């Protein structure tokens, strides 16, 4: 059995756009291996190349250079066989057919993935139960809520019991409760059956909670790749949540050299707020308190907090 489900070898994608045929390098010589049974989080700012990379691995875009190996076989040579063993949600809830019912979608996409008869009935029933859609099985997709459409989209990606699944922004635009359900289901389906999953998202919480490793892409290049826990260990920044009272002027804090970021998290009433401060040196905390005192801003409470994945992400993009 192959150790790696996906191998990207010196992969690049270049587009020519406009009447002048200007060159846009979307993916720039990426090398990456994804282990069998691993959940990999794919992070990057808008336009970094995440969706382009996923579309190439799914066989929707042809690489300009490099090679994609899936299940130990070159994707371009064995495209049909490989794609039959893959599930993907690349366009949000739009990968379902809105003029058909939930049940009809499961049957239709099951047949497209060569799933038929009793196996299809069993898989459909299981996914309807898992994604809490049994009461909506005869409902037209266009009449479903956004959260239900998204749950159906992910259910369709699992209809053929795939060994490899790609999810592009699976919780985008969902309320907190639905996003939590989707996250739980993704983890359950991936880990219980040892499936490989590549997840592209801006939701740092889902990456922290379920991803084994994180790959960070910026301007088409892979700038970081490590286990999720290891990324936190490599961060030397200090973070504090400070509760303040008074007319808060963030500039007084921002001008301190060792402060890398400061933001108001929440307004708590008249002239009172929570502020998060990230600094490169713990000794800067005393400078911050002194700067606030000079500005007649009262510190009501102060607590240290661990760096978040978002803090790490921002720091890497700035470096």
Vertex 118: Cα angle to 113 and 119 (nearest 5): 40
Question: How much of the chain is helix, strand and coil, in % rounded to 5?
Answer: 35, 35, 30
φ/ψ (deg, to 5) at 104: -65, -35
Which letter does DSSP use for residue 296 in this model?
A: T
Which letter does DSSP use for residue 303 in this model?
A: E
Reply yes or no on whether the pLDDT at 317 is more than 80: no
Give the tens place of pLDDT for each residue, 40-90.
999 988 889 999 999 999 999 999 999 999 999 999 999 999 998 999 998
Reply yes or no on whether the pLDDT at 269 is more than 80: no
Residues of the chain with CATH 3.40.50.300: 4-233
Residues of the chain with CATH 3.30.2350.10: 238-318
What pLDDT sits at residue 237?
A: 67
Give the closest residue to 154 by CA, choosing from 127, 122, 120, 121: 127
> What architecture is the 238-318 domain classified under in CATH?
2-Layer Sandwich (3.30)
> What architecture is the 4-233 domain classified under in CATH?
3-Layer(aba) Sandwich (3.40)
Is 181 within 8 Å of 23 (Cβ atoms)? no
What pLDDT sits at residue 167?
A: 92
Give the closest residue to 291 by CA, choosing from 239, 251, 247, 264: 251
What pLDDT sits at residue 106?
A: 97
What pLDDT sits at residue 292?
A: 83
pLDDT higher at 253 or 197: 197
Parallel, antiparallel, or unpaired for β 39-43 and 196-200? parallel
Is 241 within 8 Å of 275 (Cβ atoms)? yes
């Amino acid at each position: 059995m192959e150790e790696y489900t996906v191998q990207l070898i010196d992969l690049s994608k270049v587009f020519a756009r406009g009447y002048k045929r200007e060159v846009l390098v979307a993916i720039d010589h990426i090398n990456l291996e994804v282990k069998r049974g691993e959940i990999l989080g794919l992070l990057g700012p808008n336009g970094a190349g995440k969706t382009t990379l996923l579309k190439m691995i799914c066989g929707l875009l042809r690489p300009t250079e490099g090679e994609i190996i899936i299940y130990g076989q070159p994707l371009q040579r064995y495209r049909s066989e490989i794609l039959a063993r893959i599930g993907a949600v690349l366009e949000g809830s739009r990968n379902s057919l809105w003029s058909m019912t939930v049940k009809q979608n499961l049957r239709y996409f099951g047949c497209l993935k060569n799933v038929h008869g009793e196996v299809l009935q069993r898989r459909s029933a299981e996914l309807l139960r898992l994604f809490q859609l049994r009461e909506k099985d005869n409902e037209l997709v266009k009449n479903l809520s956004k959260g239900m459409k998204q749950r159906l989209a992910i259910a369709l990606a699992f209809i053929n019991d795939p060994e490899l699944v790609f999810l592009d922004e699976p919780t985008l635009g969902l309320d907190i409760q639905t996003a939590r359900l989707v996250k739980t289901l993704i983890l359950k389906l991936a880990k219980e059956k040892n499936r490989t999953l590549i997840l592209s998202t801006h939701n740092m919480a889902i990456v922290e909670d379920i991803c084994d490793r994180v790959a960070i892409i910026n301007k088409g290049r892979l700038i970081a790749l490590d286990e999720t826990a290891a990324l936190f260990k490599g961060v030397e920044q200090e973070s504090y949540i400070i509760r303040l009272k008074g007319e808060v002027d963030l500039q007084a804090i921002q001008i301190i050299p060792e402060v890398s970021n400061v933001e108001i998290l929440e307004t708590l009433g008249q002239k009172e707020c929570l502020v998060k401060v990230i600094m490169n040196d713990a000794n800067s905390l005393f400078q911050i308190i002194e700067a606030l005192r000079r500005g007649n801003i009262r510190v009501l409470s102060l607590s240290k907090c661990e760096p978040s994945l978002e803090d790490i992400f921002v720091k890497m993009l700035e470096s």
